[in-house]
Amino acid sequence: MQLTVWTYEGPPHIGAMRIATAMKGLHYVLHAPQGDTYADLLFTMIERRDARPPVTYTTFQAQDLGRDTAEIFKNAVAQAYERFQPQAMIVGASCTAELIQDDPGGLAKALALPIPVIPLELPAYQKKENWGASETFYRLVRALAGQPVERAPREGRRPVCNVLGPTALGFRHRDDIVEIRKLLDALGIDVNVVAPMGATPADLGRLGAAAFNVVLYPEIARAAAQYLEKTFKQPFTDIVPIGVKATERFVEAVAALAGVDPAPVLAGAPSRLPWYSRSVDSTYLTGKRVFIFGDATHALAAARIAATELAFKVVGIGTYSREFARELRAEAAEHGIEALITDDYLDVEAAIQAAAPELVLGTQMERHIAKRLGVPCAVISAPIHVQDFPARHSPQMGFEGANVLFDTWVHPLMMGLEEHLLGMFREDPEFHDGAAPSHLTRHGSTAIPSPLRRGEEVGVVPPAATEPSGTTPILIAPWAPDAEKELKKIPFFVRGKARANTERFARERQLPLITLETLYDAKAHFGR
Amino acid sequence: MNAHAPLPAAADCGVEVRQERGQRAVFCGLTGIVWLHRKIQDAFFLVVGSRTCAHLIQSAAGVMIFAEPRFATAIIDERDLAGIADMNEELDRIVGRLIERRPGIKLLFLVGSCPSEVIKLDLSRAALRLSKSLAPDVRVLNYSGSGIETTFTQGEDACLASLVPELPPAPAEAEAALMVVGALADVVEDQFARIFAELGIPARFLPARRAGEMPPVGRNTRYLLAQPFLTDTARSLEERSAKRLSAPFPLGAEGTTRWLRAAADAFGVDAQHFEAVVAPGQKRARRALAQYQERLSGKRVFFFPDSQLEVPLARFLSREMEAELVEVGTPYLHRAHLSEELELLPSGTIVNEGQSLDDQMDRCRKARPDLTVCGLGLANPLEAEGLSTKWSIELLFTPIQGYDQAGDLAELFCRPLVRRTRLEV
C-alpha cells in the first residue's frame, strides 16, 4: 500500500478514455462500479468539452454482484452499439471490475457485433494513466491499421506522414498540432492522419499510406510508432519540438525522413525567443536557479531550453514518468545533478526546498508548492487545471511555442523584479515589505515564509524538516539591529535564502550575534 | 444500501414514483469526505482503495487538495493483491506513519471503497485493532463509501451511522433533548442553534465539530434530520432508542418553518412564542425570495439524480418560487423520511428513482426544460445543446438551509437563467 494525497496520474483506464475521447466514431464500454463516471467531468469541465466522452459505464452496484455482472456488461455493449453506432469499440475493466474477473473481451466477442471490438488489458494495480493511453493507442493501431501495403512511389507528389500522440486532456495538444501542421506544410510535407486526436477508426486503417511517422508525445505514441515501424516499415521521429533548438532538430529530422530541404523553414528568424533572450533586458535571467518537474517529454524539453536558450541554471529536474527514468537521469547528469524520479509530491516538495530555486517549472502541484514557498512558478506539464486549457492559441511546440514559453516563464520573474523595484522606491503601503507579489496569492501569513520555517499549516512535516527529538533545539543567534536593517535591503525574493545562509554561517561558527559583518561574511562564503 | 424499497401503495399524495435501472452518472460515497473532513475538525479520513479512488477525491476536491486536507488514500497495489504484503500489516504501517505526522488527529475513519469491499478486506476489524493500539489518543472507526454500496451523499450517512454506536449514552432520567442530524455549514448550524435556544429547546448537532464533543443519545433523544439522505444513521439512532421527528427539510422559508415547528411541537413550545421567534427570520427569507420569484415563476425544471436533495429542492422551487417540475430524479427515495416532502409536491409530479442515463437524457432533450439540475459530467454537454443547467454539487458545498440562506438558494437557480439572458455572444 502507498499513502497518497495527490496523484500525478490517474488509473490506466483514464488513459484509455483520453484516447477514446480524442477520437471520433469510437466508443468505449467500461466495466466499472457506480461512481467511476466522475472521470467524465475531467473532460467536460477541465477541458471544457461540449459533449460527453464516448464512454458507457456498466455502473454495477453491490446488489448486482450476487447476480450476473457479466450480463450487465453484455447488455451495456449491445445498447451502446445500438445507440451510438460506432465504427469500432474498445472494451475493458476499471480497477474494481478487474477484481471481479468478468472477461470484457470474451463477453463482447460473444455478441458478434459487425464492427471491430478491441479488448483492453489495463492492469490498474500496476500501471497508470499515461501507460493506459499508450497501451490503448497501440492496441487500436494494431487492430485497425490493417495489413502492410506496397506504397506507390512518390513521383513528384508531396511526401506524406502521420502525426501521432495528441489526446484529449493533453497539455496544449490542441495548439501543438496547429504548429506542427504549419511546420510540415512549410516543409512541403502532407499529413495523412493525425491520431488519436480527431481520427476515426477508419482513419487508423489508412495509417499505412504514409511514408513515416512523427511522434509528438513519446509517452503516448512511441509504442504504436514502434509497431508501425516494424510492420509497415515506417521510420519515425520522436524528437519533441519544444524549444528553438529542439524545433530546429525536429525540422531537420523530419526533412531528412521526407527527403526535402529544411533550409527555407529554418531561414530568417522563425522564433522571437533568441533575440528576446539576447536583448539586454534578459541579462538578469543569467544563472537563475530553476527547478523542473513534470512528465518526461516536457521536463526534458524544459531543461534544455532553460539551460541553453535562457541561460538559467538547472538546479533540479525530475519526472513522475517512471518509464522514462533513464532519459531523465542522462539529462540530469548533463547539468551535474541527480534526477528525481518519484510520484510522491512530498518528495518533490522536499527537493524543491533543498534546491532553493528562484523559479519552479512544473505541474499544477508544483504551482501550489511554489506558491506556498513564495517562489515564482510556471506550468509546463500535466496534470493541469482548467486555466491551462486556455481559450487563446497557446502552443508549447514549434517556433510559436518557443515564443509562448519565453513569455510564460519570464513573466513571473519579471513581475518579481518589478515588485522589488516598486518596493525599493516607494514606501506605499501597497508595496510594503510584507505584501505579496501581485501574481502570488499566498495562504495566511503576509510575511514571506522562509522555506525553513513553514510547517504547522502544512501539517505533514517532511522528514527533512523534523528535528531529532531529545537533542537540544538548535539556537539561532540573534540579529543585531543594523544587520536586520541591512537584510531588509536585500531583494525579497532572495532574502529568505540570505537569512538562512547567514544563520547557518553563524551557527556553524557559534557566533553569539549576527552583525552586519556576519551578513557580508556569509554572503562572501556562500557566494551565488 | 441502494436496494429499492417497494413502491408506495397507490401514492396517496398524487406523486408518481417511477423506478429506472441502467447506467448511472453519479458520484460514489467517497465524495462525502470532501465536506465531512471540514466539519469534524480533528478527524482524518483514510480511504483504502485504488488509484481511481485517489483520483476521484482529487478531482472532487479541486484546489482543496493542496491545503494539506485531512484525508488521503492508501492505494492497494499488486503486492497487496498477490498476498506478498500482508494488507493488515501494511494498513497498520500506513496508519502509524500518518498519526505520527498528524498528531492533532483524534478520530480516524478507515473508509472502504469498491476494491476493498470486493476483496473483502475487513476494515471493521482493522479499526478495532488500531483503536486498541492507538488508544486513548485516537479512536478509529470504519464505514464504506464505495460506489457499489453508496451514492454521493450516502457516504455521509455511512459515516454518521458509524459514529452512532460510539455516542455517549444519555442518562435514562435525562430531560428530553433534541439532536439535529446531518452536516450543516457552520454558519447555518449557528443560526439554528440560536433559534433553538430562543425556543427553549436543548439542541445538539451530529456531527459535532470535534470528535470529543459528539452529542449523547438515549431514550429521551428526539432527532430531527437536517438532510434527506440519512437512512442508516436514522436506523442506528432508533436502535439506541432515539425518536425521529417527522418534518420536511429546512430549505426555503416554508421548509425551515415546518422543520422548526416539528421540533417546537415535540418540545411543547407555546405556539405564540414559536411565531414570535421565527417571525423575523421568516420575514427576511420571504423578502429575499421575492426578488427571485418573478424570474423562476413558471420556469420548467428537470432534476437529474445526484444527492437525494432533489425532492426537497423541487418542493421549494414549486411552492415558494412557482416553478413547474418536469421530472424529479433522485438516486434513492426513502419513503418515510420524505413522506412530508412528497405530500407537498404538486399532484402529478413525476419522481424518478434510479437512473438509465441515456434514456433520461433523451427525456430531458425532448422536454426542453428551462433549467436542468445535473452533475458536472452532463452540464456542459447539455449547455452545448442549448439547455440552461445548474450544476448540482454546488448545492452540497454552499450553505442553503435555513431562513437566511433561502435567498441564496433561489439565487443559485436564477443565476444560470440570468446569465443566459445577458450573454449576447
Question: Does residue A521 carry a catalytic annotation?
Answer: no
Beta bridge mates, B115: none
Pick the CATH number of B290-423 from 3.40.50.1980, 3.40.50.970, 3.40.630.30, 3.40.50.880: 3.40.50.1980
What is the SS3 assignment for B6? coil
Pick the CATH number of A273-413 from 3.40.190.10, 3.40.50.620, 3.40.50.1980, 3.40.50.11540: 3.40.50.1980
Residues 6+ apart with CB under 8 A from A206: A192, A193
CA gap A504, A522 in Å, rounded: 9
| CB atoms A35 and B147 under 8 Å | yes
Mutate to test the interface with A, among B380, B393, B394 (most CBs of A within 10 A): B380
Render the burial of B357-388: b for 16+ CB within 10 Å, e for the rest: bbebbebbeeeebbbbbbbbbbbbbbbeeebb
pTM (predicted TM-score): 0.88
CA gap B161, B166 in Å, rounded: 10
CA gap B143, B161 in Å, rounded: 8
Residue B243 identity (one-letter amino acid):
K
| CB atoms B25 and A44 under 8 Å | no
| CB atoms A61 and B2 under 8 Å | yes
Q: Is A156 left (phi over 0), alpha (psi -120 to 50) or beta?
A: left
Compute the nearest-CA separation of B15 from chain A (Å).
Answer: 27
What is the SS3 assignment for B53? helix
Nearest by CB to B115, which of A7, A96, A460? A96
| Nearest of A330, A333, A270, A273 to residue A306 by alpha carbon | A273
Q: List the strands of the sheet with A339-341, edge to edge.
A: A339-341, A313-319, A289-294, A359-362, A377-379
C-alpha cell at A526: 556562500
| Nearest of A197, A214, A201, A205 to residue A162 by alpha carbon | A214
pLDDT in tens, B381-417: 999 999 999 999 999 989 999 999 999 999 999 999 9
Burial of A271 (0-12, 13-18, 19+ CB in 10 A): buried
Instruction: Show the low-confidence residues of chain A (pLDDT under 50).
Output: 427-432, 438-472, 528
ipTM of the complex as predicted: 0.93
Cα-based distances in Å from A280 to A277, A284, A308, A445: 8, 8, 17, 36
DSSP state of B177: E
DSSP state of B117: H
Mean pLDDT of B91-106: 92
Helix (H) or strand (E) holding B267: none
| Nearest of B28, B67, B268, B267 to residue B154 by alpha carbon | B28
For A462, the closest chain B residue by CA position comes to B101
For B73, the closest chain A residue by CA position comes to A4
Beta bridge mates, B251: B401
Fold of B177-271: Rossmann fold (3.40.50)
CA gap B18, B354 in Å, rounded: 9
**Lowest-confidence segment of B63-72, B213-222, B267-276, B342-351 by average pLDDT:** B63-72
CA gap B125, B141 in Å, rounded: 10
What CATH class is the domain A12-131? alpha beta
pLDDT in tens, B47-73: 999 999 999 998 887 766 666 789 999
Helix (H) or strand (E) holding A193: strand A190-195
Nearest by CB to B50, which of A58, A100, A125? A125
| CB atoms B26 and A34 under 8 Å | yes
Is the per-residue pLDDT at B269 higher than 70? yes
CA gap A228, A263 in Å, rounded: 29
| Chain B residues 33-92 within an 8 A CB cutoff of chain A | 48, 50-52, 54-56, 58-60, 63, 65-78, 80-81, 85, 87, 90-91
CA gap B288, B239 in Å, rounded: 41
User: Catalytic residue among A68, A185, A261, A281, which?
Assistant: A281
CA gap B353, B333 in Å, rounded: 6
CATH architecture type of domain A481-526: Orthogonal Bundle (1.10)
| Cβ-based neighbour number of residue B126 at 10 Å | 20
Nearest by CB to A4, which of B3, B59, B75? B75
pLDDT in tens, B209-263: 999 999 999 999 999 999 999 999 999 999 999 999 999 999 999 999 999 999 9
| Nearest of B217, B207, B204 to residue B183 by alpha carbon | B207
Residue B358 identity (one-letter amino acid):
D
Side-chain-side CA neighbours of residue A196 (13 Å): 32
* pLDDT confidence of residue A474: 59
| CB atoms B381 and A49 under 8 Å | yes
For domain B29-150, say whether CATH 3.40.190.10 is its number: no
Compute the nearest-CA separation of A248 from chain B (Å).
Answer: 38
CB A144 within 8 A of CB A88: yes
Segments of chain B assigned to CATH 3.40.50.1980: 29-150, 177-271, 290-423
| CB atoms B28 and A33 under 8 Å | yes
For A368, the closest chain B residue by CA position comes to B66
pLDDT in tens, A32-56: 999 999 999 999 999 999 999 999 9
User: In whole angstroms, how large is the CA radius of gyration of chain A?
Assistant: 27
| CB atoms B52 and A5 under 8 Å | no
pLDDT in tens, A372-403: 888 999 999 999 999 999 999 999 999 999 99
pLDDT in tens, B4-53: 444 444 446 789 999 999 999 999 999 999 999 999 999 999 999 999 99
User: In whole angstroms, how large is the CA radius of gyration of chain B?
Assistant: 22
| Nearest of A336, A298, A333 to residue A319 by alpha carbon | A298
Beta bridge mates, A341: A319
Is the per-residue pLDDT at B2 higher than 50? no
Can you say which residues of A are annotated as belonging to the binding site?
A: 36, 416-417
Residues 6+ apart with CB under 8 A from A485: none
For A72, the closest chain B residue by CA position comes to B22
DSSP state of B19: E
Question: DSSP strand E in B71-202: where?
Answer: 71-75, 107-112, 139-144, 177-181
Please give the mean pLDDT across all residues of chain B: 94
CA gap A123, A121 in Å, rounded: 6
Compute the nearest-CA separation of B328 from chain A (Å).
Answer: 20
Residues 6+ apart with CB under 8 A from A28: A16, A17, A20, A53, A54, A55, A56, A89, A90, A91, A92
Dihedral pair phi/psi, residue B223, rounded to 5°: -120, 150
B53 is in an annotated binding site: yes
Say if strands B203-206 and B71-75 run parallel, antiparallel, or are unpaired.
Answer: unpaired
Render the burial of B317-346: b for 16+ CB within 10 Å, e for the rest: bbbbbebbbbbbbbbbbbeebbebbbebbe
Helix (H) or strand (E) holding B354: strand B350-354
* pLDDT confidence of residue A284: 86
CB A241 within 8 A of CB A250: yes
Q: What is the DSSP string of A339-357?
A: EEE-S-HHHHHHHHHHH--
The ranges assigned to domains in chain A are: 12-131, 160-267, 273-413, 481-526
Residue B301 identity (one-letter amino acid):
V
Can you say which residues of A are annotated as belonging to the binding site for [4Fe-4S] cluster?
A: 36
CA gap A18, B20 in Å, rounded: 30
CA gap A362, B370 in Å, rounded: 43
CATH architecture type of domain A160-267: 3-Layer(aba) Sandwich (3.40)
B28 is in an annotated binding site: yes
What is the SS3 assignment for A65? helix
Is the per-residue pLDDT at B378 higher than 60? yes
CA gap B64, B72 in Å, rounded: 12
For B113, the closest chain A residue by CA position comes to A96
C-alpha cell at A122: 489495463
